[in-house]
Structure 1
Amino acid sequence: MAQKNTKKDYNSSKSNNGEIRAKKHLGQHFLKDEIIAERIGDTLSLDGYTNVLEIGPGMGVLTKYLIKKEVNVIAMDLDSESIKYLKGNYPNENLEILEADFLKYDLSQIFGKEQFAITGNFPYNISTQIVFKMLENKERIPEFTGMFQKEVAQRICEKEGSKAYGILSLLTQAFYEAEYLFTVPPAVFNPPPKVDSGVIRLKRKADYSIPCDEKFFFRVVKTAFQQRRKTLRNSLKSFGLSNSIKEDIIFGKRPEQLSVSEFIALTQKLENDTISTDQ
């Protein structure tokens, strides 16, 4: 008999190894379409790395395609039911199954010091946090692919000039080339979400260093977009702009009008302005 739904468990997926409940508080929607799962697995180029971290494997629909490749796979999930199911159904010498919370996990503990890619069907409720943590560890992550809520996937890949372009787009594209690959309808999930999903690929730039202080760059971007309707002259007042820098044409623009390279140039101007006003 199927288990009764609760606030945390809104559906269940039956298998030969029992039931795995899709838990609302974990943002779980189990992908059930094998073709789409294989397509997501094939988004990885496997260029320059032999290790893959899968986040939120659930019942392993994507995992089964990853372990067919010549890579070492770690499947990480904080759902103990999923972990038990995976261990019972996917014993494989190139697969490690890890019960852990990605957002809290020290990534220096996996794959030694080697490079690794990240992929997965990411829980909607933490997907942007996953991207930001990936950026914190970009030195080890040459590629990142996976499925998001379509709106978030589009935002990550959006270019300047769009209302969807923002902090997530700009900080990601400062270090990675972003590509929106394909859309996935709700019907291929159990339970189906209320929105479409989108699959993306991020490939780290050959030179992913930026010619300004990285922490200061992040601060400039976040401060500018907190008041995105204002011109930079007004949204960046807290930086103590000198009278001379305020006259620069770039400060008459709004943040969504600036490309990644222009935001880097803006950060450099602010760095130099801070130096000159301190003297």
Structure 2
Amino acid sequence: MNKIPAIGTPVRTQAIINQYGLWASKRLGQNFLIDLNVLQKIVEQAKVTDRDIVVEIGPGIGALTEQLALHAKEVFAYEIDKKLIPVLHDTLSGFSNIEIIFQDILKADFAELKGHQPVKVVANLPYYITTPILFALLKSRLDFTSFTVMMQKEVARRIQAGPGSKDYGELSLAVQYYLDVDGIFDVDRRSFLPQPGVDSSVISLVKKRNFKPFVFQEQLFKVIKAGFAHRRKSLINNLLFLVKKSPEKRQQLENILTAIDLPLNIRGEKLDLNKYEQLTSSLIEKGFIS
């Protein structure tokens, strides 16, 4: 008997598409990964072992899910596209360590994972909603050790960017607050069906060792958001959007920046995470924000 090819091969993917009359939904940002080498490299990059609980986002027809299940203890795959219910039940029927949850990841409460955490997140993310998903996961109650995710190459650059770079922004700081980059590799457009119109990268992010949340975490992210609200404006002008503008408030801000050795004309993209934490503490101490 001939062995059934892996789901993530061109021949098997096309057969599944034909069998179920599928199409890649542009609305949901679907592109089927048809390069088995890339799929296996993602699993390797995520360092998945038989002790790991894995959360996958957007399993599609199950190409990455299959490879994860071959290595992981258990895979919880979250899918929003209901037309894929019979497909996944068919393509992954040979596995007992996969649970498919048909739920929007942005609304997930991860109740299914009770008693199964910590987890590794592995996903081929829909490019149109990559940033909201990352923010949602970072702010969720999900106890994770790492993220290994496929995304638009441009977004991967933003995550890695440092102060002063044109790619540096709110996303860079939000991710770098929690995580360190552990590895990255690019993926050719020809690895997908249909081919996307942008370049792709897989980035692996690990939870910071001995991570301790900043004492004013909520205020920190408000200050960071304000700092990048208008990239062409100075940090002071952006921070004035947090309160009612007045000459007195501007003078207070100038005093705060001077006290922490920041130029008065500096822009938000020049500050690293430590400086944003220092700025936030000073703003609270002086009663500028609460």
For residues 152 and 165 of structure 1, what CA distance do their matches in structure 2 show? 10
Shift of 1:81: 2.6
Shift of 1:191: 0.8
Which runs of 4 or more aligned residues in structure 1 lie more than 6 Å from their structure 2 counterparts after TM superposition?
none
Task: Give the structure-1-normalised TM-score.
Answer: 0.87
Distance 2:223 2:255 in 1: 19
Structure 2 vs 1, CA of residues 47 and 245 (structure 1 numbering), >3 Å: closer, same or farther? Answer: farther
Secondary structure at 1:98's aligned position in 2? Answer: strand
1-structure distance, mates of 2:43, 2:65: 8
For 1:219, the equivalent position in structure 2 comes to 222
In 1, Cα distance between equivalents of 2:51 and 2:71: 12
CA contact (8 A) 2:181 2:204 kept: yes
Contact between 1:116 and 1:140, CA under 8 Å: does it hold in 2?
yes
| Offset of residue 108 of structure 1 | 3.8
Which residue does 1:120 correspond to in 2?
Answer: 123
Does residue 1:132 correspond to 2:135, yes or no?
yes
Question: Which residue is 2:200 aligned to?
Answer: 197
Q: Which amino acid aligns with 1:247?
A: T
Count of aligned positions: 266
Match of 1:168 among 168, 171, 187: 171
Secondary structure at the counterpart of residue 166 of structure 2: coil
Q: Which amino acid aligns with 2:280?
A: T
Summarize the alignment of residues 30-109 of structure 1 with structure 2, pairs less than 5 Å apart. Answer: 30-46=32-48, 50-91=52-93, 92-109=95-112
- The separation in 1 between residues aligned to 2:105 and 2:45, in whole angstroms, is 21
Tell me the equivalent position of 1:244: 255
User: C-alpha displacement at 1:233, in angstroms?
Assistant: 2.1
- Give, as a single letter, the amino acid of the residue that structure 1 aligns with 2:150: M
Residues 125-184 of structure 1 deviation map (CA, whole Å, 9 limit, x = unaligned) = 111111001111266112111100110111112112201000000111011102451111
Cα displacement (A) at 1:211: 3.0
- The answer for the alignment partner of 2:276 in structure 1 is 263
Residues 180 and 198, structure 1, Cα contact 8 Å, conserved in 2: no
Identity %: 33
Residue 229 of structure 1 is aligned with which of 232, 238, 244? 232
Match status 1:206 vs 2:209: yes
User: Distance in 1 between the 2:50 and 2:96 partners?
Assistant: 21
CA offsets 1:176-201 (integer angstroms, 9 cap, x no match): 10245111121111111111101101
Write the distance in 1 (CA, Å) between the matches of 2:50 and 2:283: 36
**1:70 & 1:109 partners in 2: Cα distance?**
17
Distance 1:48 1:66, change over 3 A: closer
Report the alpha carbon displacement of residue 112 of structure 1 after superposing the two structures with TM: 3.2
Asked if the contact 2:188/2:199 (under 8 Å) is kept, the reply is yes
Structure 1 residues without counterparts, runs of 5 or longer:
1-11
User: 1:77-118 CA deviation, whole Å, 9 max, x = no partner?
Assistant: 111232321111212111111111111111244243621121
2:189 to 179, 186, 190: 186
> Are 2:122 and 2:148, in contact at CA under 8 Å, matched by a contact in 1?
yes
Local SS of the residue matching 2:225: helix
**Residues 49 and 117 (structure 1), Cα distance of their counterparts in 2 relative to 1, 3 Å cut:** farther
* Aligned mates of 1:100, 1:262 — CA distance in 2: 39
